[in-house]
């Protein structure tokens, strides 16, 4: 289909201002170092405001108190969000103890947020604490380089500790991909770690002096789990194993979820299957995909710059042939793979290595000491005695991984005593929200703060229709940028205005179909009325094991999105 619509390989025209900024930044340095000394403002000025994103930070302000501060003629209370690079989400307990202390001592909110891209963020770091944050990460072997902006960001990997050998191999590739595609500039080390400026000129052989046209996301997926939600990402390596050993990857390119309300030139898109490659070609192929997107991605319009748009403009086959040419390979036909779900298995599970793994459900990924549920203290206490590691999942949960049988009871007691193992229904476990208010500057409606009570109401509806022990993949995102991955949910709410959402349905359980808008700009009672009606029908009319999303399609309640680039908005 897309082959019929080939456009120019390179879009000519006036470059977006972000391109000037990157070019003039001297390989991401800008004047960040000087700006740090300026105590007159709590924010970063001029180009630095955007440049710090390459260093893993977003400048934000508390929107709950914005109006009050404006009235008092004060600048907004600026503070940074800082996101760590953590390929595959694996973090040692020593590292955890360090980040726990930092969150406690040096952030406004005192929390750690596990994100749905398998890392953690701090919210509310004042300017004076920004450098100490990067120093703290460095001391424990971490960094925040390239976790935001126009680069390859944190690389995800399926969190499946059961088949641990295969998982371990997949994880090693996630790490290698992350390292290989990192910016090579020394700017990060110079600014944050006071390392010397080396006299050689900077070079970015893969990313180039103006980096990528737009953000770029990579995953390594181990079927049958699609917990990383590969179709939300630009470049995806699906692990293919033979006799339990990793032998190669299926490559899928060009997924992405962000849209703009009412702008039909934007669309969420599932990734296209390029083909199979044996392991030894992995880095060359990754590099070829990235450099093709670097050279062909639209640098004149940031709303049309992601890989998904490049693919549609030049044609999937043309893009694929270019990747083959650059990597010096030919893709083999896709090897069979199958997904069964996206959720995490909460609770204990025994791995093939005889170690135990405990997946803890963390609502919204928010780790904080709540009254009666001191989650943050609980994890700290576990981190003090646990000899394995922690693994963050792409569902914002946390796995205490590699527990010997002898330690199981001790860890379980700590988890229970701190409210980390409170029973929740499957519906809550399969619900997710982005951050939105109060910190996200782009939020149009509540998400993280809205979700917990909303899920309780959905649970009541499910109970009423006798499906209280089942679940529907439910996600809320505070604006159409889509961080909460609502555009891959069975029920997705996309924030439109305070208290108002677009309701999307028709996605599937395994995350391979984009949902379509069913009702526009509606309030919570209206959303619940729709869910009540639809869940009522699902519970009565569904076929055996038929998921909610598949049912809404089969029953003709919503038309499936088959070719998102062309039919999402029809
Ligand atoms: C144009 C598109 C997008 C923009 C401008 C954007 C911007 C942002 C901003 C400003 C935040 C910080 C919010 C806060 O922590 O206070 C954020 C968080 C986040 N975004 Fe996005 N985003 C976009 C699309 C996406 C998509 C499509 C995904 C995933 C598929 C994603 C994943 C995340 C994640 C994981 C976080 C961390 C918090 C969380 O887990 O909700 N973003 N984004
Ligand atoms: S989806 Fe929108 S509101 Fe939610 S975190 Fe992303 S940018 Fe902010």
Q: If the chain, 570 residues long, is cut into consecutive pieces of 10 residues, what is the mean pLDDT of each piece?
A: 69 97 97 93 95 97 89 92 98 98 97 98 97 98 98 95 84 98 95 82 90 98 96 98 95 98 96 98 98 98 98 98 98 98 95 91 97 97 97 98 96 98 97 96 97 98 98 98 98 98 98 98 98 98 98 98 92
Name every residue whose Cβ is closer than 8 Å to that of residue 324 and which is 6 or more positions away in sequence: 288, 330, 331
CB burial of residue 247 (10 Å; 0-12, 13-18, 19+): middle
Which CATH superfamily includes the segment(s) 150-342?
Sulfite Reductase Hemoprotein, domain 1 (3.30.413.10)
Name every residue whose Cβ is closer than 8 Å to that of residue 306 and which is 6 or more positions away in sequence: 213, 214, 215, 216, 234, 256, 258, 297
For the Cβ of 440 lying below 6 angstroms from any atom of ligand 1, the answer is: yes
Spatial separation of the C-alpha atoms in residues 99 and 90, rounded to whole Å:
14
Position in ligand 2 atom list of the atom nearest CA 484: 1
Position in ligand 1 atom list of the atom nearest CA 434: 41
Spatial separation of the C-alpha atoms in residues 124 and 77, rounded to whole Å:
9
Which of 256, 434, 475 gets mutated to test ligand 2 (max ligand atoms within 8 A of its CB)? 434
Query: Phi, psi at residue 358, to the nearest 5°?
Result: -115, 115
369-370 vs 373-374, strand pairing mode: antiparallel
Spatial separation of the C-alpha atoms in residues 204 and 28, rounded to whole Å:
11
Spatial separation of the C-alpha atoms in residues 52 and 15, rounded to whole Å:
21
Residue corresponding to tokens 């349905």: 505
Using the mean position of ligand 2's atoms as its centre, give its distance from the Cα of residue 216 in Å: 17
> What's the token pair of residue 130?
């920004």
Using the mean position of ligand 1's atoms as its centre, give its distance from the Cα of residue 247 in Å: 33
For the Cβ of 481 lying below 6 angstroms from any atom of ligand 1, the answer is: yes
Long-range own/partner contacts, residues 16-19 (CB < 8 A, 24 or more apart) = 16/299, 16/300, 16/301, 16/302, 16/305, 18/50, 18/150, 18/302, 19/210, 19/299
Question: Would you list the domain boundaries of the chain?
Answer: 150-342, 347-424, 428-567
> What's the token pair of residue 363?
């609502």
Ligand number with the minimum distance to the CA of 364? 1
DSSP code for 264: T
Around 132, how many Cα atoms within 13 Å sit in the side-chain half-sphere?
Answer: 14
- Report which secondary-structure segment, H or E, holds 549: helix 548-554
For residue 515, the model assigns a pLDDT of 98
For residue 133, the model assigns a pLDDT of 98
DSSP code for 569: -
Residue corresponding to tokens 């995102």: 477
Fold of 347-424: Sulfite Reductase Hemoprotein; domain 2 (3.90.480)
DSSP code for 179: H
Burial of 282-299, coded b for 16+ CB within 10 Å and e otherwise, reads bbebbbbbbbbbbebbbb
Spatial separation of the C-alpha atoms in residues 238 and 271, rounded to whole Å:
12
CB burial of residue 240 (10 Å; 0-12, 13-18, 19+): buried
What residues are designated binding site for siroheme? 483
Using the mean position of ligand 2's atoms as its centre, give its distance from the Cα of residue 59 in Å: 14
Using the mean position of ligand 2's atoms as its centre, give its distance from the Cα of residue 502 in Å: 15
CA angle, 347 as apex, 346 and 351 as ends, to 5°? 105
CA angle, 479 as apex, 236 and 556 as ends, to 5°? 75
For the Cβ of 257 lying below 6 angstroms from any atom of ligand 1, the answer is: yes
For residue 165, the model assigns a pLDDT of 85
What residues are designated binding site for [4Fe-4S] cluster? 434, 440, 479, 483
Which of 481, 486, 488, 511 gets mutated to test ligand 1 (max ligand atoms within 8 A of its CB)? 481
Architecture of domain 428-567 in CATH? 2-Layer Sandwich (3.30)
- By annotation, the residues acting in catalysis are 83, 153, 215, 217, 434, 440, 479, 483
Q: Are 166 and 220 in contact (CB under 8 A)?
A: no
Terminal-residue alpha carbon distance, the chain: 17
DSSP code for 265: T
**Count of residues making up the chain:** 570
For residue 2, the model assigns a pLDDT of 44
For residue 199, the model assigns a pLDDT of 57
Using the mean position of ligand 1's atoms as its centre, give its distance from the Cα of residue 483 in Å: 4
For residue 200, the model assigns a pLDDT of 60
Using the mean position of ligand 1's atoms as its centre, give its distance from the Cα of residue 258 in Å: 10
Q: Rounded to whole angstroms, what are the CA distances from 365 to 39, 47, 417, 480?
A: 33, 31, 19, 20
Ligand number with the minimum distance to the CA of 485? 1
> What's the token pair of residue 516?
């379509």
For the Cβ of 144 lying below 6 angstroms from any atom of ligand 1, the answer is: no
Region class of 545: left (phi > 0), else alpha (psi between -120 and 50), else beta: left
- 3-state SS track over 11-59: CCCCCCHHHHHHHHCCCCCCCHHHHHHCCCCCCCCCCHHHHHHHHCEEE
For the Cβ of 96 lying below 6 angstroms from any atom of ligand 1, the answer is: no
Long-range own/partner contacts, residues 178-181 (CB < 8 A, 24 or more apart) = 178/85, 178/87, 178/152, 178/154, 178/218, 180/206, 180/283, 180/286, 180/287, 181/151, 181/152, 181/155, 181/206, 181/207, 181/218, 181/286, 181/287, 181/290
For residue 61, the model assigns a pLDDT of 87
Please give all residues whose beta carbon lies within 6 A of any atom in ligand 2, as ranges.
434-436, 440, 442-443, 447, 477-479, 481-484
Spatial separation of the C-alpha atoms in residues 569 and 566, rounded to whole Å:
8
Spatial separation of the C-alpha atoms in residues 127 and 149, rounded to whole Å:
20
Q: DSSP per residue over 318-356, as a string? A: HHHHHHHHHHT--PBPPPP----B-S---EEEE-TTS-E
Helical pair 451-464 and 524-541, crossing angle rounded to 10 deg: 40
Do the two domains 150-342 and 428-567 of this chain adopt the same fold? yes
Helical pair 307-314 and 282-296, crossing angle rounded to 10 deg: 80
Q: DSSP per residue over 392-449, as a string? A: E-TTS-EEEEEE-GGGHHHHHHHHHHTTTT----HHHHTEEE---TTT-TT-SS--TT
């Amino acid at each position: 289909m897309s082959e019929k619509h080939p456009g120019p390989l390179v879009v000519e025209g006036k470059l977006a201002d972000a391109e000037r900024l990157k070019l003039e930044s001297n390989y991401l340095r800008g004047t960040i170092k000087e700006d740090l000394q300026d105590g007159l403002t709590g924010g970063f000025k001029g180009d630095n405001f955007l440049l710090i994103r390459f260093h893993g930070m977003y400048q934000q302000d508390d929107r709950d108190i914005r109006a009050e501060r404006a009235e008092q003629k004060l600048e907004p209370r600026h503070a940074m969000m800082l996101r760590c690079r953590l390929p595959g989400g694996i973090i040692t307990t020593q590292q955890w103890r360090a980040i726990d202390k930092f969150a406690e001592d040096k952030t406004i909110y005192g929390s750690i947020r596990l994100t749905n891209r398998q890392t953690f963020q701090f919210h509310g770091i004042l300017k004076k604490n920004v450098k100490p944050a990067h120093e703290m990460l460095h001391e424990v072997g971490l960094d925040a380089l390239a976790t935001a902006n126009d680069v390859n960001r944190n690389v995800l990997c399926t969190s499946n500790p059961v088949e641990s050998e295969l998982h371990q191999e997949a994880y090693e590739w996630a790490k290698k991909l992350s390292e290989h595609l990192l910016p090579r500039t020394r700017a990060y080390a110079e600014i944050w770690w006071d390392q010397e400026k080396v006299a050689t000129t900077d070079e970015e052989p893969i990313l180039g002096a103006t980096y990528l046209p737009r953000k770029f996301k990579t995953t390594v997926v181990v079927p049958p789990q699609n917990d990383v939600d590969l179709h939300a990402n630009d470049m995806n390596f699906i692990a293919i194993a033979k006799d339990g050993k990793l032998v190669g990857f299926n490559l899928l390119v060009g997924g992405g979820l962000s849209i703009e309300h009412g702008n039909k030139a934007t669309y969420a898109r599932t990734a296209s299957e390029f083909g199979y490659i044996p392991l030894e070609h992995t880095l060359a192929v990754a590099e070829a995909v990235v450099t093709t997107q670097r050279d062909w991605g639209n640098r004149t319009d940031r709303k049309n710059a992601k890989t998904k748009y490049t693919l549609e403009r030049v044609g999937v086959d043309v893009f694929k042939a270019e990747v083959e040419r650059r990597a010096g390979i030919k893709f083999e036909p896709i090897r069979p793979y199958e997904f069964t779900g996206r959720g995490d298995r909460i609770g204990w599970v025994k791995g093939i290595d005889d170690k135990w793994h405990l997946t803890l459900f963390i609502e919204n990924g928010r780790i904080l000491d709540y009254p009666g549920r001191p989650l943050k203290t609980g994890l700290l206490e576990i981190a003090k005695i646990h000899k394995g590691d922690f693994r963050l999942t792409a569902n914002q949960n946390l796995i205490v991984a590699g527990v010997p049988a002898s330690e199981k009871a001790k860890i379980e007691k700590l988890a229970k005593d701190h409210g980390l193992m409170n029973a929740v229904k499957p519906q809550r476990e399969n619900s997710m929200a982005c951050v939105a208010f109060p910190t996200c500057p782009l939020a149009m409606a509540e998400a993280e703060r809205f979700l917990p009570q909303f899920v309780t109401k959905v649970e009541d509806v499910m109970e009423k229709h006798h499906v209280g022990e089942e679940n529907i993949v439910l996600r809320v995102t505070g604006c159409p940028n889509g961080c909460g991955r609502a555009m891959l949910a069975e029920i997705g709410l996309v924030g439109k205005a305070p208290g108002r959402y677009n309701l999307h349905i028709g996605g599937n359980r395994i995350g391979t179909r984009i949902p379509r808008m069913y009702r526009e700009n509606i309030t919570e009672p209206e959303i619940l009325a729709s869910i009540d009606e639809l869940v009522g029908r699902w519970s009565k009319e569904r076929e055996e094991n038929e998921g909610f999303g598949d049912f809404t399609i089969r029953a003709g309640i919503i038309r499936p999105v088959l070719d998102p680039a062309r039919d999402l908005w029809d």
